[in-house]
Amino acid sequence: MSDNVYKLRDKAGESEKITINLGYIDLGRIDLLVQEGFYSNRTDFIRTAIRNQLTAEGEAVQQSITRHTLELGLRDYSRADLEAVRASGERLHIKVLGLARIASDVTPELALATIESITVLGALQASRELKSALAERIR
């Protein structure tokens, strides 16, 4: 199943929208930098600031990934993957930093039979029915 792990890229379709609250002074300082041409807009500034901070904390992030045995990037779980897990009698403890996707043709019954727990630092894409069925197993 490790064949289904992909490195994430920053594409519009592969991002999550967040909301932050900033004080007026910080917001004004950002606007000044945008006005002066350092950044194209507020979002450009915020993304750059976040990437710079993540780079600065890169070592700590990498150590944490190793400690928590997280898969990094995009992790797809197909119906065939889960059927193979069920056939082997095993159960999955899904741990992903990035994006975990469970295929739309996976039934709640199959997911419940094969997924013991889900920990996703990032985003989980699955049908509403799957998320509802697995709610107590999602951390």
Question: 32 to each of 38, 41, 45, how far by Cα in Å?
Answer: 9, 10, 11
Does pLDDT of 129 surpass 60?
yes
- The Cα 56–Cα 60 span in angstroms is 9
pLDDT bracket for residue 100 (50, 70, 90) = very high
Cα-Cα-Cα-Cα torsion 105, 13, 8, 75, nearest 10 degrees, comes to: -10
DSSP E strands in 14-107: the ranges are 71-77, 92-102
Mean pLDDT along residues 97-103: 96
The stretch 72-92 carries a mean pLDDT of 93
Indicate the pTM of the whole model. 0.59
Average pLDDT, the chain: 89
Residue ranges per structural domain of the chain? 21-56, 61-137
